[in-house]
Structure 1
Amino acid sequence: MPYQALYRVWRPQIFEDVVGQQHVTKTLQNALLQQKISHAYLFTGPRGTGKTSAAKILAKAVNCPNREAAEPCNECSICKSITDGSNPDVIEIDAASNNGVEEIRDIRDKVKYTPNMSTFKVYIIDEVHMLSIGAFNALLKTLEEPPKHVIFILATTEPHKIPLTIISRCQRFDFKRISPPKIAEHMGSIINDYGYEYDQQALELIARASDGGMRDALSLLDQTISFSQGRISIEDALVITGSVSQQILHQIAGSILEKNPQAALTFLHTLLGEGKDPVRIIEDMIQYFRDILVYKNSPGTQDFLERVIVDEDFQRLAEQFDSDEIYEIINRFNQVQQEMKWTNHPKIILEVCFVQLCQANFRNQQAAVSSDLITQLQEKIAYLEDQIQQLQVQGISEGQTSEESNNKQKQTKTVKHTFKAPVGKIENVLANATKQNLQQIKNNWGSILENLKKSHAALLNDAEPVAASSQGCVIKFKYEIHCQMAINNGEFISTLTSLFQKVTGHPIEVIGVPENQWLEIRQSFLNEHRDLVKDQKKSDNSGDPLIDEAIKLFGEDLLEIRD
């Protein structure tokens, strides 16, 4: 018989064999004893934690005729057929490759048929989150009210992708990551059964590298057994997992503590020469200093350590490192980890990081940055307080004459307006402006902008024509600087003038005005020339049947026409 991987040979066959999931197995066992089997279950959790194995054990337990308490016997023909996958009443479906509506419709059509040789027909749908929306909808009604002889067991690593309508119809069991001590203990029992020799630290290292998954741990153990020469050593486990040895981690930490960049770089290049991935080195360093921080602040919680085994060197380093320094080191490693995602040279970034951490003034630099920011803020606050005090002292007193106030206001206006709009020209255009002239330019404004250079058109992004006569056009600019740049640009004025002439058929003078000055000039003109404005509106609106009818109804004195 060909060789089988350890995780296949040692796959759990009864609930008691499922490691680290007692909250799930105990509930299922009690349900079996009390005859309270649900029609649908949802098993969720990380990979390799026993979801599919528990589903098959449950399928055997509900169908085993010789069941002892809540465990299948694994000796009868039904148990054996379910174990080897030949039982026609226990159907395992991989939703990743059978995720269409047609496959689910096939299940829906066949569930009504009674089992061939078992009590229950059990459908185990693995990676159920891969089903399409249409497939979920096709499964919905069958999952809610299946025949009495049908049980659905859905397994997934990503429950958030499953519709809530499906989850609400199932009993949900969350499988959790298996703790490293339990994984190491289980691996130890397996190796003892084979009669291999091993170092306990090697098993603990493999258990931590498996990230809580028993299948990953047994796969790594299988590789380590093949790599080792009769005994599983810590060095073999380091090679297979790609992890950094605890001794080198101690040495690197000591180099950082002693501010010795040469030693730190030597140890780093030793790891790189052994083929260690820079990203994995950073991860090990973060976990190592995290363990130092946890142990330093809570020595009695050794079970919470993820990367190290407490020894004399580790205890010595934990005592010598300051907590603030550990915070800064972890923060710097985190920054490097993020930078490595966007670089083609992770080795260089890692080297720079080690050199920075070994610099004697690294902490001083970090503190200096914070101190400089505080100093700058304090200086700005003092400056602002001084300015406020000067304004209060130099403010207009109650005894100042109105003439002095007017002079100050004029000075303020002079300082404020660096560009002075030609008031005479603007008032001349307003005196002769007509609605038809302005509308003619506005209707062609888009084509005028298209015929300008991009740099010239950019000056008119926030500008618009606001008044026009047969001799001139007033263009209002939102920003004073844009108005000044446009009017002082001879090429711009010449081009715009020629474009206006093409539109109107006669020369038009371009007059620019900032928005704030335009409002003042326009209001002043309206106040001084009310009769003229009224006559203009009459002439502009003459011939408009709507306005003529309004005049007839209400009279010219009561009617006010606004654009």
Structure 2
Amino acid sequence: MSYLALYRKWRPMVFEDVVEQEHVVKTLRNSICSGRIAHAYLFCGTRGTGKTTMAKIFSRAVNCVDSKNGDPCNQCEVCQGILNGSLLDVIEIDAASNNSVDDIRDIRDEVIYTPSKARYKVYIIDEVHMLSTGAFNALLKTLEEPPAHVIFILATTEPHKLPATILSRCQRFDFRRIPVDSIVKRIEYIAKESGVEIQREASKLIAKLSDGALRDAISILDQCISLGNKELTYEDVLSVVGLVTDTFIGEVVDAVKNREIQRVLKAVDELVMEGKNIGQFVSELVMYYRNLMICSSVSNPEEIIDAPMDSIQKMKEQCNGLERFEIVAVIKELSLLEAALKSTTHPRVLLETTLIKLCENRMDLGDAGVLERIQSLEKNVNDIMEKGIAVPKNGSGSSTGSLKDSGNADSGKENLESEDDKRIEKKNIAKNVKGIEIWPKVLDELKSRGRMVIYSHLLDAKLIELGSNRVGIVFKNTIGKMFVEKSENLEVVEECLCEFLGKKVRVKCLGEEDIVDTEKKEEKDELIEKVQDFAEKVDIPLNIIDE
């Protein structure tokens, strides 16, 4: 006999073997024992939770001649006929491939005939939501008033797609996802019966990957057993399903948190070269950040997160430098990436782009609360005060300095330098108020390009030099200033200026109130400087009061 897949070999034969569906088992058992058997049942739930298995057990139980406590004996002639497919009184139909009106009409014509050997003729219609609208309409009357010897069992993963007229004619049973512990117990039992030892970490990983579907878990176990090892380890399961370890994901999260782009890209390269599934990796990364969110939200995350204590402890440490709304923003970015990966031909590029975006902290925080955004700004300011920021020194574009809180004396000095810079800038503006000679040419160029609105607003404006690579435009009215300040208009003006100046310049729009007459102030400043120099030479304290 050819090899039989484990999920078929270990399909439950009686109600007692069904895992974690006690609410359905109890109801069906009682209906069989009491003889209160309905004419139509609807089994709903996600894949691999036992819908078809329950339908087959029920079809044997209602027809078994030696039923015990509602369970089929699986030994009598009727049970054996149903199991080997020789008895035609139990018909299983795949609605995905038999979804036309004619297929349902054939059923409607056949139900009038009594069963050959069994007590009931049972129709199991799997994936019933795939039936066409016409097929549903053809099924309505038969489903409402079938012959007494007919039972319909409809199974579906998407009950919301069924018409209300169908739902109202059936007894509905919702199958729950199977918990991890129950799947682990079943997996270890099947592995033991198959002559293979499996580590608890490996069985837990299989249970988590199955997402509540026992059939998926058994299929993964079947694939792992095919490795030929006498003992299945955590690493064996990872290699079979193409996953990465929690340690690898933790390192990627650390790299993103520390803004280490090179380390992130190296991790992506390692992921791709080992042949791991990028989509699966992103899903695991989303779940990891979900665990981080829980760690930052509750005091006892181990009650919610199913992970080893050392992993939870590491997650708590990683949460220290992250705000909750930042974690939520990362989850949203990764969820968008997960959706985009399904339709792209360059998954690696998308992954690298998103991770670099996360490293540069360019996430969309538009829907974050105002208080949280203020907290984020305070955090950034504190980081700058602690670590400093590189700034160019006067006279040397390549030299750098750092702003650090190094005492009141240094702070006062920095404030003084800042005020001096502002005075120099104002003085430069006043000196260059006569403008630059190329301004009329720039206006003519704008006019020739058809930018008449910009040209009209700039007619009364003046061009001044603010620095080697900065120029200012002084406006007499606020309306013109606001119009030219728009990014698309300012870009056009900068382009024309660069063309005539022969170098890259930045433009700043100014109002007349920004221009101050500093000639008298300069004379006064020179006098004050001379007095200060004299006072320092003769060591006399000097207090200047500006009134």
Shorter-normalised TM-score: what interval?
0.5 to 0.7
- Tell me if 1:225 matches 2:213: no
Alpha carbons of structure 1 residues 121 and 301: separation in structure 2 relative to 1, 3 Å: farther
TM-score scaled by length of structure 1? 0.61
Report the Cα offset of residue 304 of structure 1. Answer: 3.8
**Aligned ranges for residues 48-197 of structure 1 at < 5 Å?**
48-197=48-197
- Tell me if 1:312 matches 2:313: no
Structure 1 CA distance for aligned equivalents of residues 340 and 32 of structure 2: 53
Contact 2:67 2:73 in 1 (8 A): yes
1:431 match: none
Report the Cα offset of residue 253 of structure 1. Answer: 2.2
1:350 match: 351
Alpha carbons of structure 1 residues 267 and 73: separation in structure 2 relative to 1, 3 Å: same
Report the Cα offset of residue 216 of structure 1. Answer: 1.5
Alpha carbons of structure 1 residues 343 and 111: separation in structure 2 relative to 1, 3 Å: closer
Helix, strand or coil: the match of 1:227?
A: coil
**Aligned ranges for residues 455-494 of structure 1 at < 5 Å?**
none
Alpha carbons of structure 1 residues 8 and 236: separation in structure 2 relative to 1, 3 Å: same
TM-score scaled by length of structure 2? 0.63
Helix, strand or coil: the match of 1:282?
A: helix
**Aligned ranges for residues 357-372 of structure 1 at < 5 Å?**
357-359=358-360
Structure 1 CA distance for aligned equivalents of residues 342 and 72 of structure 2: 49
> Which amino acid in the other structure matches residue 314 of structure 1?
I
> Which amino acid in the other structure matches residue 290 of structure 2?
R
- Tell me if 1:27 matches 2:45: no
Report the Cα offset of residue 276 of structure 1. Answer: 1.6
Compare the two structures and name the one with the higher helix fraction: 1
Helix, strand or coil: the match of 1:37?
A: coil
Contact 1:289 1:330 in 2 (8 A): yes
Structure 1 CA distance for aligned equivalents of residues 98 and 365 of structure 2: 58
**Aligned ranges for residues 335-484 of structure 1 at < 5 Å?**
335-341=336-342, 343-359=344-360
1:514 match: none
Report the Cα offset of residue 334 of structure 1. Answer: 2.7
Alpha carbons of structure 1 residues 76 and 106: separation in structure 2 relative to 1, 3 Å: same
- Tell me if 1:5 matches 2:5: yes
Structure 2 CA distance for aligned equivalents of residues 84 and 304 of structure 1: 45
1:328 match: 329
Contact 2:330 2:363 in 1 (8 A): no
Alpha carbons of structure 1 residues 110 and 245: separation in structure 2 relative to 1, 3 Å: same
Contact 1:46 1:213 in 2 (8 A): yes
Structure 2 CA distance for aligned equivalents of residues 60 and 26 of structure 1: 16
Contact 1:205 1:237 in 2 (8 A): yes
Structure 1 CA distance for aligned equivalents of residues 301 and 66 of structure 2: 46
Helix, strand or coil: the match of 1:113?
A: coil
Alpha carbons of structure 1 residues 365 and 210: separation in structure 2 relative to 1, 3 Å: closer
Q: Percent identity?
A: 47
345-354 or 243-252: bigger deviation: 345-354
Structure 2: gaps (5+ residues): 378-547
Helix, strand or coil: the match of 2:98?
A: coil
Report the Cα offset of residue 222 of structure 1. Answer: 0.8
Alpha carbons of structure 1 residues 109 and 235: separation in structure 2 relative to 1, 3 Å: same
Contact 1:238 1:244 in 2 (8 A): yes
Alpha carbons of structure 1 residues 4 and 73: separation in structure 2 relative to 1, 3 Å: same
210-219 or 49-58: bigger deviation: 210-219
Contact 2:357 2:363 in 1 (8 A): no
Report the Cα offset of residue 49 of structure 1. Answer: 1.3
Helix, strand or coil: the match of 2:172?
A: strand
Contact 1:93 1:124 in 2 (8 A): yes
Contact 2:329 2:365 in 1 (8 A): no
**Aligned ranges for residues 272-283 of structure 1 at < 5 Å?**
272-283=272-283
Report the Cα offset of residue 124 of structure 1. Answer: 0.9
Structure 2 CA distance for aligned equivalents of residues 209 and 69 of structure 1: 35
Q: Deviations over 1:153-199 (max 9, x none)?
A: 11112222222111111101111222222222211111111221112
Contact 1:206 1:241 in 2 (8 A): no
Helix, strand or coil: the match of 1:43?
A: strand
Structure 2 CA distance for aligned equivalents of residues 82 and 68 of structure 1: 18
Helix, strand or coil: the match of 2:226?
A: helix
Structure 2 CA distance for aligned equivalents of residues 228 and 201 of structure 1: 19
